[in-house]
Amino acid sequence: MQPFTGNFTQQEPIPEDAIAAAVAVMRGGRLHRYNTGEGEIAPASRLEEAYARYQGAKYCLACASGGYALSVSLRAAGVRAGDRVLTNGFTLAPVPGAIAAVGAEPVLVEITRDLVIDLDHLERRIADSGARVLMLSHMRGHLVDMDALCALCEATGVTLIEDCAHTMGAKWNGRASGGFGLAGCFSTQTYKHINSGEGGLLTSDDPEFMARAIMMSGSYMLYERHRAAPPPEVFETIRLETPNMSGRMDNLRAAILLPQLETLDANAARWNARYEAIASRLSQVNALYMPHRPPEEFFVASSIQFLAPGFSPQDCEGFVARLKEKGVELKWFGAEEPVAFTSNHRSWHYVPAQDLPQTDAILAGLFDMRLPLTFSIGDCAHIADLIAAEAGMS
């Protein structure tokens, strides 16, 4: 079989209308979100209104990164240094990092082989840790049963904050991911679903929470310029007691993102067609397990994951190496040493070490691959054939 020659980290170009909008912002020179002309609505404010509408949320804050959205949401939710915060044992480093940023301690919860948080283990950890906040990471876009999760949070008085870095555009039972708890946190970093290089979006329906997040993001006393925000009287009570931890989004990024929002749903369908082309082939390979995707879940497949439960560490290394020679870039989560973007809890040494035997066993045979939209469906079928051929031989 011919090797694959595509580039796994090449995203599509920024659309021409977004480039034009960025050029217009630069020509105006008003890149700071509070630097507006008479009667002008800043692109950052327009983005917040558009994203709140897209999510069906009351409020939205545009900020510097997805990681910033996560840490500011913990602070605005009242998490203090020394508090414990629950999160998935399998997520990307910015999630435990956001918890550490507020001086809190991550309490890691096992995942299932379908790559979602294990609800039984979560229930036990809620009981034995005393933690009252869950930062739920929809890692790689896999949604847990949100009805069961919300029922558990409600029954135990746990506040839910969603990490939606991989679920922008995704839904559970028709309801947008990010709208199930106190807050939803999104990233607009290059490898996510809309691309401004760096950036974050935070949504909520809670007026006090959002007022605090806006003050923290560095709004000074200019919060009345926010449009997807609670009314000024909500700020009255908190504006002088809330510290400024600058992390605003600028108008240039917002201008680039606004037109991309309009093609997000169409792009979700394009990602999912690529996913199907690979998943349908790999689900026929005996050595591989494709995580189950329940009918309630509408996902946005900017990446694909599969397990090779019977592979030894040597098998996994050989599999990755042989596919690399064939031009297919797989990430393996079972490696001893963290490579590139780290996602293994054992490499977060600032987090108290925790025993997660079930998660470790899953990560030992878990592979992950990006699905950039620059790949055609034919490219995906080719990649799937290469993976299937190697998996069949291991």
Least separation in angstroms between residue 200's CB and ligand PLP is: 5
Least separation in angstroms between residue 191's CB and ligand PLP is: 7
Under DSSP, the state recorded for 241 is T
Least separation in angstroms between residue 170's CB and ligand PLP is: 13
Q: Where are the alpha helices (DSSP H) in the chain?
A: 16-28, 43-55, 66-76, 94-101, 119-129, 146-156, 207-216, 232-236, 251-262, 264-282, 313-325, 357-363, 377-393
Compute the distance between CA of residue 288 and CA of residue 290 in angstroms, rounded to an integer: 7
Tell me whether residue 287 or residue 300 sits nearer to ligand PLP (CB atom).
Answer: 300
Nearby residues of 189 by Cβ (< 8 Å), 6 or more positions away? 65, 66, 165, 195, 196, 197, 198, 199
Helix or strand holding residue 200 (H, E)? strand 200-204
Contact between 327 and 6 (Cβ < 8 Å): yes
Tell me whether residue 104 or residue 139 sits nearer to ligand PLP (CB atom).
Answer: 139
Tell me whether residue 190 or residue 283 sits nearer to ligand PLP (CB atom).
Answer: 190
Under DSSP, the state recorded for 345 is G
Tell me whether residue 66 or residue 181 sits nearer to ligand PLP (CB atom).
Answer: 66
Tell me whether residue 85 or residue 285 sits nearer to ligand PLP (CB atom).
Answer: 85
Tell me whether residue 169 or residue 200 sits nearer to ligand PLP (CB atom).
Answer: 200
Tell me whether residue 164 or residue 211 sits nearer to ligand PLP (CB atom).
Answer: 164
Least separation in angstroms between residue 325's CB and ligand PLP is: 28
Return the amino acid letter for 360: D
Q: Binding residues for ligand PLP, per CB under 6 A?
A: 65-67, 91-92, 94-95, 137, 139, 163, 165-166, 187, 189, 200
Question: What is the side-by-side order of every strand in the sheet holding 331-332?
Answer: 303-307, 366-370, 331-332
Tell me whether residue 123 or residue 198 sits nearer to ligand PLP (CB atom).
Answer: 198
Tell me whether residue 107 or residue 161 sits nearer to ligand PLP (CB atom).
Answer: 161
Contact between 48 and 196 (Cβ < 8 Å): no
Strand, coil or helix: what is 318? Answer: helix
What is the radius of gyration, based on Cα positions, of the chain?
A: 21
Tell me whether residue 63 or residue 277 sits nearer to ligand PLP (CB atom).
Answer: 63
Least separation in angstroms between residue 62's CB and ligand PLP is: 12
Query: 């600032």: which residue's tokens?
Result: 350
Least separation in angstroms between residue 39's CB and ligand PLP is: 32
Report which residue's Cβ sits closest to ligand PLP. 66
Rounded to the nearest 10 degrees, what angle do helices 251-262 and 16-28 cross at? Answer: 160
Between CA 271 and CA 292, with CA 11 as vertex, the angle to 5 degrees is: 30
Least separation in angstroms between residue 48's CB and ligand PLP is: 17
Least separation in angstroms between residue 330's CB and ligand PLP is: 17
Least separation in angstroms between residue 121's CB and ligand PLP is: 19
Contact between 225 and 30 (Cβ < 8 Å): no
Least separation in angstroms between residue 391's CB and ligand PLP is: 26
What b/e readout covers 261-300, taking b as 16+ CB neighbours within 10 angstroms? Answer: beebeebbebbbebbebbbebbeebebbbbbebeeebbbb
β-strand partners of 107: 86
